[in-house]
Amino acid sequence: MGGARRLLVLLPLAALLLLATAAGATAGVTSGYRRKPEATADMPLDADVFRLPHGYNAPQQVHITLGDQTGTAMTVSWVTASEPGSNTVAYGRSPKKMEMSAQGTQTRYDYYNYTSGFIHHCTLTGLKHGVKYWYAMGFGHTVRTFSFTTPPKPGPDVPFKFGLIGDLGQTFDSNSTLSHYDANGGSAVLFVGDLSYADAYPLHDNNRWDSWARFVERSVAYQPWLWTAGNHELDYAPEIGEATPFKPFTHRYPTPFRASGSTEPLWYSVKIASAHVVVLSSYSAYGQYTPQWTWLDAELRRVDRKVTPWLVVLMHSPWYNSNGYHYMEGESMRVQFERWLVDAKVDLVLAGHVHSYERSHRFSNVAYDIINGKATPVRNLDAPMYINIGDGGNIEGIANNFTKPQPRYSAFREASFGHATLEIKNRTHAYYEWHRNHDGAKVVADSVWLINRYWMPTHDDSN
């Protein structure tokens, strides 16, 4: 605790001073808020957040995600360290009466000289929307019980609050981000990639995948997180004989990809309350005719804005980002897909990767071809708002090298850690807030009312 506090001390410089770069409707803001630029350390392996549950072979690293497209199924995952144990999950509507049960599967994998524990996945089916369920796994003295509430049935005016987190890692800052999110109380997390940063360790020490899952259990065992793959999920290390991309990630973190007609766990969609959420993979092929391209083409046609008015797209590497860090890395995917997203009137694109916060106005850059020379982003009310929330607080530290001047598409940017929430109110209005981690205080540093692109397409909400 004391250590955490000391590490999170902020320089007392102009805490809320905002520097507007120019006058006028599109003037962007570069926040003058300063925090020390160096990364905080990863929490030590004996930190409280990594503690093992009591009992021999007790289920650990419990996490849930949607098991179908809308949440009438939930997939529960956990690890047993010493022996296979049971694959069964008991569940029901009261902790005293978990009368239903489901049978899961288990898997393990090797990574260089690391061998994982027994990784269990079990999908609970036949759930009702908007209902609290209790569930338990393990046996004898090691039974562990948790609960979750299924999302409400999709419909045009169904309020729902999402948490938006990216690039979390397992530092003291990561713990601060998760604590702030816990205090803000969303009902599901849209996670934009880069989970554990185990690959920052020699030989991609996969014990850090285990410790990360114990760290986030306090949230993700109780509400579904929807996963996006980031570059730190690749674990591609042919120099040590590990040439299968995404091996640890895909063994540990299932996604309900089949339910949305996808053929790979790395791209899929879900429908939660009034939102249709599309998850893309920045690190899988997306060129014309590839599986991801083919799927997205069909998927965008399946979206029914009369049922799910809010169309949100998740990816790891941002298309619009004015930080020097990872500059232009998302460019080839933007060129491939931006036209589709503008035509589909996507409300919001969420990305991570760049370890700072940035929100755009509604801009597009879709006029360009290789002869007309028109490569300038322009205001476009059909375009998504782009939000980069790669500011979860991982070991690589903050990205504090914004390009100058601030480009016209950039509405607000700040180099500090935090998370965001998206509160859908009804078919036309959603309230978005970005929360800066500020020494235990709950600080809202940026907010905007989103106006739906399908139902109110001419209303400019991006100031």
> Which positions are annotated as active-site residues?
326
Rounded to whole angstroms, how far apart are CA atoms 396 and 50?
A: 20
Binding-site residue total for ligand NAG (CB under 6 A)? 19
User: Per-residue x/- marks for ligand NAG, 156-195, CB under 6 A?
Assistant: ----------------x--x---x----------------
Q: Find, among 144, 141, 136, 140, the residue nearest to 94 by Cα.
A: 136
Residue 149 interacts with ligand NAG (CB under 6 A)?
no
Residue 283 interacts with ligand NAG (CB under 6 A)?
no
Binding partner of residue 194 among Fe ion, ligand NAG, none, CB cut-off 5 to 8 Å per kind? Fe ion
What number of other Cβ atoms are within 10 A of residue 133's Cβ?
20
Using CB atoms within 10 Å of the CB of residue 336, give its burial: 0 to 12 exposed, 13 to 18 middle, 19+ buried: middle
Rounded to whole angstroms, how far apart are CA atoms 226 and 255?
A: 7
Residue 379 vs 429, nearer CB to ligand NAG: 429
CA distance readout (Å), 88 to 59, 106, 122, 137, 231 = 11, 11, 7, 6, 33
Site residues for Fe ion per CB under 5 A: 194, 230-231, 353
> Closest separation between CB of residue 309 and ligand NAG, Å?
11
- Rounded-to-10 torsion of CA 184, 355, 41, 110: 100
> Closest separation between CB of residue 433 and ligand NAG, Å?
14
Residue 265 vs 392, nearer CB to ligand NAG: 392
> Which residues does 335 contact at the CB level (< 8 Å), separation at least 6?
none
> Closest separation between CB of residue 451 and ligand NAG, Å?
10
Strand order in the sheet with 132-137: 100-103, 88-92, 132-137, 144-149
Binding partner of residue 231 among Fe ion, ligand NAG, none, CB cut-off 5 to 8 Å per kind? Fe ion
Binding partner of residue 230 among Fe ion, ligand NAG, none, CB cut-off 5 to 8 Å per kind? Fe ion
Q: Which residues between 384 and 443 bind ligand NAG (CB under 6 A)? A: 401, 403, 425-426, 428-429
Residue 170 vs 187, nearer CB to ligand NAG: 170
Q: Apex CA 85: angle with CA 83 and CA 87, to 5°?
A: 135
Q: Which residue is nearest to Fe ion (CB)?
A: 353
Binding partner of residue 403 among Fe ion, ligand NAG, none, CB cut-off 5 to 8 Å per kind? ligand NAG
Q: Between β-strands 418-424 and 429-438, what pairing exists: parallel, antiparallel or unpaired?
A: antiparallel
CA 15 to chain centre: 27
| Residue 23 CB-half CA count within 13 A | 0
Going 30 to 36 to 39 to 44, the CA torsion angle's sign is negative
Q: Which residues between 342 and 381 bind ligand NAG (CB under 6 A)? A: none
Residue 207 interacts with ligand NAG (CB under 6 A)?
no
Residue 25 interacts with ligand NAG (CB under 6 A)?
no
When binding is defined by CB under 6 A, the residue of 113, 288, 372, 458 that contacts ligand NAG is 113
Residue 18 vs 203, nearer CB to ligand NAG: 203
User: Per-residue x/- marks for ligand NAG, 42-61, CB under 6 A?
Assistant: -x---xxx------------
Q: Find, among 445, 405, 453, 396, the residue nearest to 173 by Cα.
A: 396
Rule CB under 6 A: which residues touch ligand NAG? 1, 4, 43, 47-49, 113, 172, 175, 179, 203, 324, 327, 401, 403, 425-426, 428-429
